[in-house]
A and B are shown apart, each in its own frame.
Chain A
Amino acid sequence: MALGLNSLKKSIWVYHVACSPCNGCDIEILDLLTPRFDVERFGIVLVGSVRHADALLVTGCVNRQIKPRLQEVYLQAAKPCVVFAIGSCAVGGNFFRRSYNMAGPVDRAIKEVDPNAIIVYVPGCPAKPEAMISSVVKAIGFLDNLKKVKV
């Protein structure tokens, strides 16, 4: 178990969930995965299927249309799975928070289906790639806590 969790820290496969974003944060995520930042050094790889993912990169504000889909995608992911709320929209709704079709930010939508979900907030409009790398470091700290609880 400890070996697996130590390996998990060094091999985080991310899956990109776009919940009606403006594409600003998505472009920053793609920027993060380019050779310039080279996150494969840390074992971070973009995967095509949510079943393979260890982390969901959620961008955009969660509206009524997308909320059940986001919850479904989260339930489909193989646990343990960390959720990254990337950008101000995903963290708190940004200036869309009072909009008639908003169904709450990402954390509220995820916590409805899994109260113990690990959610990492990466604010910024759009969030910078450096901020995302720093948030991954913090998520690894969460995994250490998980190890203390489990073992």
Chain B
Amino acid sequence: MAIFYYLIFPGFLFATIAGLLTAWFDRKVTAKVQWRKGPPILQNFYDIFKLLIKEVTIPDTANPTIFLLVPAIALSAASVATAMLGVVNMNWSYTFVGDLIVLWYIMSIPSIMIIIGASASGNPLSSIGASREMNQLIGYELPLVIILATIIFKVGSIGLGDILAYQSVNGPILYSISGVIACIVMIICLQAKLGLVPFDIPEAETELGAGAFMEYSGVALGAFKLTKAILLYTSPIFIITLFWGGIHIHGLGILWAILKYVLFIALFTLIRNTNPRLRIDQSVRFFWITMTILALIAFILMSIGY
């Protein structure tokens, strides 16, 4: 059953399809914002299938083993994160102490794999991308962990199932002042985790070519694209699980779940389309000062009961 969960339903296969459709939605909304027609609904599937038949090039300067192993690890980590969230949302009893912490670690593995892969490729522009990704990781993890601490203290448990059970009894965490502030900080941190536009500094196309992904081609690039798509699908579910009472896949609950999901995806896309790219120092300062202060305010408001 665990294999089924991991490979088929909430895990890899479902997350791939949902993630690629979500990535299409993102591109379509972007096109609408720019008064274009936008790509067809299966565009991201075409992209991935095409990358499967492309040649995989390995630069002379690269360490081939690490270079090719890293996308696979990133993809499997993203699938594990999706499967964990999906299973907990299906049944609250499928939780264990500290699975929020485990999930948080697993969701940062793709970023670390991008850093390792870019360093292993031996390309100077990739190594700049890797250093920026590392700076960014250090930047957004601080407010993110304060937000997670806020939720853990409010609920009094580190289990995702307990967080969902708490919200079904006391109402979603989002419906409070501290919850709203924490949710805003969380959305912006996940925007950086996904590498979407105001924080797409590691792969800044106009400065670094493709930055950290510069030397990847063929299946390896496809694995990274798929990882990004799966994380794009997982992040709104992560927010909904922590703040908005989770996803219910029974009866009419599924419509409400899709509505919440689309709302968060549209928010990510609109933030992406209405902001210019920051410099890396601006980005780190933004996360360490503005976002950390907001996260601390949320923490203090929560601890005095708002």
A40 close to B (CB within 8 Å): yes
A4 to B52, CA, bound (A): 7
Cα–Cα distance between A93 and B210 once the two chains are bound (Å): 31
Known: A40-B38, A49-B214, A52-B210. A78 touches B55 (CB 8 A): yes
Q: Is B140 an interface residue (CB 8 A)?
A: no
Query: A residues within 8 A CB of B157?
Result: none
Min Cβ gap A25→B in Å is 20
Nearest CB to that of B31 among chain A residues? A40
Q: Are A40 and B39 in contact (CB under 8 A)?
A: yes
> Known contacts being A5-B53, A54-B50, A79-B55, is A49 close to B213, with CB within 8 Å?
yes
In the complex, A68 has a CB within 8 A of chain B: no
Q: Are B47 and A47 in contact (CB under 8 A)?
A: no
Give which listed residue, A3, A43, A76, A80, contacts B54 with CB less than 8 A. A80
A-B contact pairs, 28 of them (CB 8 A): A4-B49, A4-B50, A4-B52, A4-B53, A6-B49, A7-B50, A7-B53, A8-B50, A10-B40, A10-B46, A38-B37, A38-B38, A41-B40, A43-B40, A48-B205, A48-B206, A48-B208, A49-B214, A51-B210, A51-B214, A51-B216, A51-B217, A52-B210, A52-B213, A78-B55, A78-B218, A79-B55, A80-B55
| B210–A48 touching, CB < 8 Å | yes
Q: Does B250 contact A (CB under 8 A)?
A: no
A115 at interface by CB-CB < 8 Å:
no
Q: Which of A5, A11, A43 has the most CB of B within 10 A?
A: A11
B34 at interface, CB cutoff 8 A:
yes
A149 at the interface (CB under 8 A from B): no
Residues of the B chain whose Cβ atoms lie less than 8 Å from the Cβ of A8: 50, 53
Q: Is the CB of B31 within 8 A of A7?
A: no
Q: Cβ of A35 and Cβ of B36 under 8 Å apart?
A: yes
For A46, the closest partner residue in chain B by CB is B205
Contact A52 B217 (CB under 8 A): yes
B54 — which chain A residues lie within 8 A by C-beta?
54, 78-80
Complex contacts, A43 vs chain B, CB 8 Å? 39-40, 43, 46-47
Q: B215 at the A/B interface (Cβ < 8 Å)?
A: yes
Say how far A118's CB is from chain B's closest CB, in angstroms.
15
Q: Does B57 contact A (CB under 8 A)?
A: yes
Further contacts, 17 of them, CB under 8 A, given A3-B49, A48-B211, A52-B216: A1-B53, A5-B53, A7-B49, A8-B53, A10-B43, A35-B36, A38-B38, A40-B39, A41-B38, A48-B205, A48-B208, A51-B215, A52-B210, A52-B217, A76-B57, A78-B54, A78-B57
Chain A, interface residues (CB within 8 Å), range = 20 to 34
Asked whether B209 is an interface residue with its Cβ less than 8 Å from the other chain, the reply is yes
What are the interface flags for B203-231 relative to A under an 8 Å C-beta threshold, 1 for contact and 0 otherwise?
A: 10110111101111110010000000000
- Shortest C-beta distance, B181 to chain A (Å), equals 36
Cα–Cα distance between A5 and B50 once the two chains are bound (Å): 7
**Cross-chain contact A78 with B217 (CB below 8 angstroms):** yes
- Pairwise interchain contact B205-A11, C-beta atoms closer than 8 A: no
Q: Which residue of B lies closest to A4 (CB)?
A: B53
Instruction: Collect the chain B residues with CB atoms within 8 Å of residue A40's CB.
Output: 27, 31, 36, 38-39
When distances are taken between beta carbons in the complex, the residues of chain A under 8 Å from B31 are 38, 40
Taking the closest CB of chain B, its distance from the CB of A146, in whole angstroms, is 11
Contact with B along A39-74 (1 / 0, CB 8 A): 011010001110110100000000000000000000
Q: Do residues A11 and B50 form an inter-chain contact, with CB atoms below 8 A? A: yes
How far, in whole Å, are A26 and B253 apart by their CA atoms in the complex?
52
Instruction: List, in ascending order, chain B residues with CB within 8 A of A5's CB.
Output: 53
Closest Cβ–Cβ distance, residue B41 to chain A (whole Å): 12
Partner of B209, one of A3, A6, A48: A48
Q: A78: nearest residue on chain B (CB-CB)?
A: B217
Which residue of chain B has the shortest Cβ distance to A37 in the bound complex? B36
Once the chains are docked, how many angstroms separate the CA of A7 from the CA of B222?
13
Assembled-state Cα–Cα distance A2/B298 (Å): 54
The complex places the Cα of A79 from the Cα of B54 at a distance, in Å, of 6
Q: With the chains together, A47 CA to B51 CA distance in Å?
A: 14
